Amino acid sequence: MIKDGDGMQARKATDLMRVTILGCTGGVAAELRTTCLMLDEDVLVDAGTGAGDLTVEQMLRIDTVFLTHAHLDHVALLPMLADMIGPRRTFPLRVHALPETIAVLRQHVFNFRLWPDYTILPSPQRPYIVLEPITVGQTLERGGKRITTLPVRHAVPAVAYRFDSGGASFVFSGDTTYHEPFWDALNAIANLRYLMIEATFLDDNTAAATAAGHMRPELLARGLRRLDERLRGRMRLLITHMEPGNEETIMAQIQATGIGLEPERLHRGQVFEF
Ligand SMILES: [Zn+2]
Ligand SMILES: [Zn+2]
């Protein structure tokens, strides 16, 4: 378990948790931002282009970033975030990710070629960014609130996250295809209230979904059918990471599976408190 450290603000265990959607699309264009969630005011989950809408003041409050995986649509703004935050305060940006994700960041991003190595700059003693490995199933506690990694399956090593305020849990799948252990993990979450899950491709696009390790509506329905009835009855289903241009058709295909849940298309700027 990792305890609160430099710069982390301790919270009362009675506080609600707040998830703000900064980016939730499978591509970029005007008004479309890739994956980034803000947890309360000081945590980001993924650092896609949605992170670019934060003001400097908001950026300076971010002390921790949790990454689901290394793909560019989820980490694109991390290097520039470190660049903005680092010189303006005295403690580093702490980044939690799988060891495989950290290895990609070290080799391909913070390598003095694509970007300066802020894990040792401006000095190894006081770098702008600290990369800390996590494992699947690990829980990190922050002021009475718990963030737990869950297993998923994607084209590269990846995790999902559960945010547990005590009263309720919000699960964010990151990128994943159908993976039984993920759904089994959900069934063990008695206070599950929100499932934010990707549905990148249309059902017609089976080959791409398989090759890229993403969901399509029928795969999503297969998972949802595995969920205990008691969870399905009180859970909100939030759909993210859809291929731009196909959103309405993907939503219609999800509804047509007859899963008995009302899927909601996620929008940038939405806030969930629980
Ligand atoms: Zn991905
Ligand atoms: Zn992605």
In a domain, 9, yes or no: no
129 C-alpha to ligand 2 centroid (Å): 23
Phi, psi of 59 (to 5 degrees): -60, -40
In a domain, 181, yes or no: yes
The boundaries of the domain holding residue 223 are 18-273
pLDDT value of residue 14: 57
pLDDT value of residue 12: 53
Distant-in-sequence, close-in-space partners of 266: CB < 8 Å, separation ≥ 6: 21, 24, 196, 238, 239, 240
* CATH code of 219's domain: 3.60.15.10
In a domain, 224, yes or no: yes
In a domain, 215, yes or no: yes
User: Number of structural domains, the chain?
Assistant: 1
In a domain, 149, yes or no: yes
25 C-alpha to ligand 1 centroid (Å): 12
201 C-alpha to ligand 1 centroid (Å): 13
Helix, strand, coil shares of the chain as percentages rounded to 5?
30, 25, 45
185 C-alpha to ligand 1 centroid (Å): 21
User: What are the beta bridge partners of residue 39?
Assistant: 19, 43
Which segments of the chain have a pLDDT < 70?
A: 1-14, 144
241 C-alpha to ligand 2 centroid (Å): 7
In a domain, 4, yes or no: no
d(CA 34, CA 75): 9
pLDDT value of residue 3: 40
Residue reference for tokens 């297969």:
222
pLDDT value of residue 15: 77
75 C-alpha to ligand 2 centroid (Å): 9
Per-residue model confidence as pLDDT tens digits over 141-171? 977 679 999 999 999 999 999 999 999 999 9
In a domain, 8, yes or no: no
d(CA 235, CA 69): 25
| pTM of the complete model | 0.94
